[in-house]
Amino acid sequence: MTMDATQYEDGSISYPGHPRGPDGAKPVGTIDLSEYTAEVITWTTSTATPPGVREPNTLAILEFDVEGETVRAIGQVTTDDVETGDEVEPVPVEELREPGAGIREPESQDWDGYRFEPV
Amino acid sequence: MTQFGQREGWILDLLAEAGLECLEDAAVDATDVDHLYVSNMASGEFEGMTGVMNALVHDLGMMPAYTQRVDQTSSSGGAGIYAAWQSIASGASDMTLLVGGEKMSHRSTPETTDIIASVTHPVEYKTGVTLPSFAGLTARHYLERFDAPRESLGKVAAKNHENGVDNPNAQFQKAVDLETILESPIVADPLRLYDFCPISDGSAALLFCPEDVAREYADEYAVIAGVDGATDTHVVHEREDPTVMDGVVESGKGAYEMSGYEPDDIDVAELHDMFTILEFLQMEGLGFAAQGEAWELVEEGYTERDTGELPVNTSGGLKSKGHPLGASGVAQGVEIYEQLVGEAGPRQVDADVGLACNVGGFGNCVITTIMEAAR
C-alpha cells in the first residue's frame, strides 16, 4: 500500500494528484507520503457519522514536508488524544470505512489507506 | 418561499407550490414564461425522481417553455439566479421563472449526511468526512489562529435564531440562548448541534424579466445589480489558507465590479450560514471584515438586525430558516427582495442595496448576488 502524491513540473506537490496541477502544470512523478511523518494543522472529532463510518471519527488535516515542499492531506487519526502541531505517522488500514454502506458505488474507488498516529 | 421544515409533499409538490405562488403574486400567466429553471441538488438521490424540470414545466402548464435543472450542490439556488439573470440579459427570454427546492427529511440523518458528503473527492470520502466535519476542522483552525472565543460562534447562532422568530416560513421560529447553544451536544468538535443548520424540506421562487417588462406588472421591484460565480479547489485540504474561501472572494469581487457597489454600500446581507463558522468566512471574504476579525464585529453587534450597521441573515439564515439545498439560494434572494421592496414585515430593515452569498460544497463553488431597489 502507498499514499501517492503527485509532483508537477513547477515543483508543487498535491495529494491527491490531478491530471494538471496549479496553473496547468503537468505531472512529472509521484511521491509516497506514507514514508513521511506529518504535522497536524487542525483536527475534529465527528460524532454524527455516515453509514459504514466509525463513530466517533477523529479527522485531521495534515501537512507533510517533502524536501522543503509542503503538501497537505486529510486523514483519520488513531486516537482522539491529538492536538494541533502534533507529529503523526501513517498506520496502514485495509478499510477506512465499509465499502457499499454509503451512497458511493463500492467499485468506483479505493477504501484502504492510512490512519495517523501521534509519534 | 414556502414553509421550510418537515413537509408532507414530495419534491414536485414543493416546487409547484413555490412556482404557483410566485406567478400569482406577480400576476404573470404561466403561458408568458419563456424559461423555467429548477434549482435542485439531489432529487434523484433523495427521492429517486429525476427530470424534475420537465415534470414541473408540465405541472405548471408552461409548455413549450425551455427548461433546465441547475445543480451546483448547496449553491444550486444561487446558480439558478445566475442562470435566470443570464437568460434575461442575453435576450433569450423575456420572462424566466426560477424555482428551487429539495425534499430531504424522509431520509435518516446518516443517509442525508452521506448524500451531501458525496460531493467530496474519493480520498476525502473514504475517510468518512462530512460537511460538518469540514466545518469543525475549519472552526478549530480559525479559533486557534485568530484567538477568537468559542462564544463568538455561538452568538452567530443566537442572532440568527432570534431573527428566525419573525419569519413565518422559518423551520425554527424560536430564540435560543447562548448557554443552550454552548452546552448542546458536540457534532464536530469544537462545533455543537446549534452551530449547524437543520435538515429541511422546502422551496422558493423568483421571477426575472427586463425592467421595461417589470414596470408593466409592478411599481416596486428589485434589480440584479451584480452577480458572479466562482470556484475553489474541490479537495478542501489543498487550499493554501483553510480560513479563506476563494470562491467567496472571487464571486464577491465580480459582483461588486459589475454593480459598482463596494462592501460599505451593502445595507443587508444573507450569508450561507450552513455552519456558524461560514458566516465569519463570508464576512471576511466579501470585505465586510478584515481576515480574522469577523468574530469581533459579531461580538460588537455589527450584524444585529435592528441595531447593527450591517444586518446579516435577517431571514434567520440557513441556521434557523432551514436549508433545503436547492431552495436555499433562491430563498436568500427572496429575503433580499422583500427587504428592498419593503415587504419584510417585522424583519424589515432600512435597505436599498442587498447582497446574497450562496456557497456550494465546502466552498467548492459560490454565487454572490447584489440586488438594488428599483429607482
Burial (Cβ within 10 Å: 0-12, 13-18, ≥19) of residue B237: buried
B121 close to A (CB below 8 A): yes
Say which of B114, B140, B235 has its CB closest to residue A42: B140
Say if residues B353 and B372 touch (Cβ distance below 8 Å).
Answer: yes
Residues of A with CB under 8 A from a CB of B: 14-16, 41-54, 57, 59-61, 72-76, 84, 96-97, 102-104, 108-111, 113
What is the average pLDDT across B164-191?
98
Distance CA B53, CA B303 (A): 37
For residue B102, pLDDT beyond 90:
yes
Q: What average pLDDT does the structure give for chain A? A: 97
What is the average pLDDT across B289-309?
98
- Closest C-alpha among B72, B367, B135, B123 to residue B238: B123
* Closest residue in chain B to residue A54, using alpha carbons only: B128
Q: Render pLDDT for A86-109 as a digit per residue (tens, 0 to 9).
A: 999 999 999 999 999 999 999 999
For residue B228, pLDDT beyond 90:
yes
Distance CA B289, CA B284 (A): 5
Enumerate the residues of chain B whose CB falls inside 8 A of the CB of residue A15.
Answer: 123, 238
CB count within 10 Å of CB B16 equals 19
Amino acid at B4: F
A90: its cell numbers: 501513517
| Residue A35 Cα, gap to closest chain B Cα (Å) | 18
Going by pLDDT thresholds of 50, 70 and 90, the confidence category of residue A22 is: confident
Q: With an 8 Å Cβ cutoff, are B137 and A75 in contact?
A: no
What is the average pLDDT across B214-239?
97
Triad B14, B86, B79: Cα angle to 5°: 45
* Closest residue in chain A to residue B190, using alpha carbons only: A44
- Closest C-alpha among B136, B183, B114, B113 to residue B278: B136
What does the pLDDT read at residue A67? 94
Q: With an 8 Å Cβ cutoff, are B136 and A46 in contact?
A: yes
Tell me whether 0.90 is exceeded by the ipTM: yes
What does the pLDDT read at residue B82? 98
Q: Render pLDDT for B2-43 as a digit per residue (tens, 0 to 9).
A: 999 999 999 999 999 999 999 999 999 999 999 999 999 999
Amino acid at B195: D
For residue A4, pLDDT beyond 90:
yes
Distance CA B271, CA B159 (A): 13
Annotate chain B with three-state secondary structure: CCCCECCCCCHHHHHHHHHHHHHHHHCCCHHHCCEEEEECCCHHHHHCCCCHHHHHHHHCCCCCCEEEEECECECHHHHHHHHHHHHHHCCCCCCEEEEEEECCCCCCHHHHHHHHHCCCCHHHHCCCCCHHHHHHHHHHHHHHHHCCCHHHHHHHHHHHHHHHCCCCCCCCCCCCCHHHHHCCCEEECCEEHHHECCCCEEEEEEEECCHHHHHHHCCCCEEEEEEEEEECCCCHHHCCCCCCCHHHHHHHHHHHHHHCCCHHHCCEEECCCCEHHHHHHHHHHCCCCCCCCHHHHHHHCCCCCCCCCCCECCCCHHHHHCCCHHHHHHHHHHHHHHHHHCCCHHHCCCCCEEEEEEEECCCCEEEEEEEEECC
Domains of chain B and any CATH numbers: 11-106+205-211 (3.40.47.10), 125-197+219-373 (3.40.47.10)
b/e for B86-99, b at 16 or more Cβ within 10 A? bbbeeeebbbbbbb
Q: With an 8 Å Cβ cutoff, are A50 and B122 in contact?
A: no
Predicted TM-score (pTM) of the model is 0.98
What is the average pLDDT across B80-88?
98
Enumerate the residues of chain A whose CB falls inside 8 A of the CB of residue B185.
Answer: 47
Share of chain B above pLDDT 70, in %: 100
Best of A34, A41, A74, A88 to mutate (most B CBs within 10 Å, chain B): A74
Share of chain B above pLDDT 90, in %: 100
Q: With an 8 Å Cβ cutoff, are B126 and A110 in contact?
A: yes
